[in-house]
Amino acid sequence: MSPHVPPHVLVVAGSDSSGGAGIVRDIETVSAFGLRCSLAITAVTVQTHQRVERIEQMPPDLVADQMRAAFAADPVAAVKIGMLGTAAVIDTVASVLASSLPVPVVLDPVLASSSGGQLLDDEAIDTLKRKLFPLCTLVTPNLPELALLSGRPLASGETEIVEQAEKLFAAGASAILVKGGHATGATATDLLIQPGREPVRFDASRIAVAMRGTGCMLASAIAAHLAQYETLEISIGKAKRHVFTKLLAARP
C-alpha cells in the first residue's frame, strides 16, 4: 500500500438531503482534519430542516459490502458510526466489524432527528446495546439518548448521568461520552465516563445557536483524532473545540 495514502475514517451513516446532519457533516469534519473518508451508506433520508419526510433503508448486505470494500481499498484507521436505522443493519455492521482488523470505533447512537423523526426502530435499541456496544471504543449519547438507552427518565444531575452510563457498561460499552448540549446553563458540559475511573469533564460556553448535526460532527472529529493515535481524552478535547468553533461561526 502506498505510504502517501492518508489514514481513512470509515463513516457508516445515513444521508440527510438538507445537509444539516449525517454524511455531509461527517465528510466535512473528517476532511477538516486532513484525513479522507471511506463510506458505507446505511440509509437515505429526505429531510428539510423542519421534518423528516422519507427514509429508505439500505439492505443489510449492501451495507456489509460497502464496509468490506472500504476495508479492502484503503488503510481504515478508525470507524465512525451514525444512523443505522434497523436491527438487521446493526447486526450486519457488528458482524463485519467483529471480523475486521480492530480499529477505534466511535458510535453516535442516533435515535431521532431534531427535525422531528425517529431514526432507529424501538426494537433495534436492544440489538444496538447487545451487538454493537461491546465493539465500540466510545459511545456518544446526548441526555435523551442516554435515558432511552438505559430505560430511565431524563437524568437531571451528574450522579444520575453516571448511574445511567453504568447501565450501559453492563451492556458491554467501555467508554461513554454523555453530551450536555440538551441541558441548560451557561456551560455545556460533556462527561467522559469509564468503568472504575472518575468522570472527566469537558466544558465549553453554551452558544445560543440552533445548528443541526453537531453530534455527527463531534463523533467524526473524535474518530479523526483517534485515527491519528491521539488518546481518547485528547481526541474528545480537540473534537469539542472543533464543534465549538463551528457553533461560534454559525452565530447570526
What does the binding site for ligand PLP look like in residue numbers (CB under 6 A)? 13-14, 16, 21-22, 45, 82-83, 108, 110, 113-115, 119, 212-213, 215-216
User: From the CB of 212, what's the least distance to ligand PLP, in Å?
Assistant: 4
User: From the CB of 149, what's the least distance to ligand PLP, in Å?
Assistant: 15
Helix axes 214-226, 23-32, angle to 10 degrees: 40
| Contact indicator for 8, 76 with CB cutoff of 8 Å | yes
Within 8 A by CB and 6+ apart from 252, the residues are 209
**Smaller CB separation from ligand PLP, 211 or 234:** 211
Of 73, 74, 10, which is closest to residue 41 (Cα–Cα)?
10
Residue whose C-alpha cell is 484507521: 77
Our measurement of the distance from residue 202's CA atom to the centroid of its chain's CA atoms, rounded to an integer in Å, reads 17
User: From the CB of 229, what's the least distance to ligand PLP, in Å?
Assistant: 25
User: From the CB of 2, what's the least distance to ligand PLP, in Å?
Assistant: 31
User: From the CB of 114, what's the least distance to ligand PLP, in Å?
Assistant: 4
Please state whether beta strands 187-193 and 176-178 pair in parallel, antiparallel, or not at all (unpaired): antiparallel
Q: How far apart are CA 7 and CA 133, in angstroms?
A: 24
**Smaller CB separation from ligand PLP, 108 or 190:** 108
**Smaller CB separation from ligand PLP, 38 or 113:** 113
What Cα–Cα distance (Å) separates residue 192 from each residue in 89, 234, 251? 27, 12, 27
- 144-160 burial string, b = 16+ CB within 10 Å, else e? ebbbbbbeeeebeeeeb
**Smaller CB separation from ligand PLP, 31 or 114:** 114
| β-bridge mates for residue 162, sequence order | none
Q: How far apart are CA 69 and CA 51, in angstroms?
A: 33
User: From the CB of 66, what's the least distance to ligand PLP, in Å?
Assistant: 16
User: From the CB of 145, what's the least distance to ligand PLP, in Å?
Assistant: 10
| Contact indicator for 79, 28 with CB cutoff of 8 Å | no
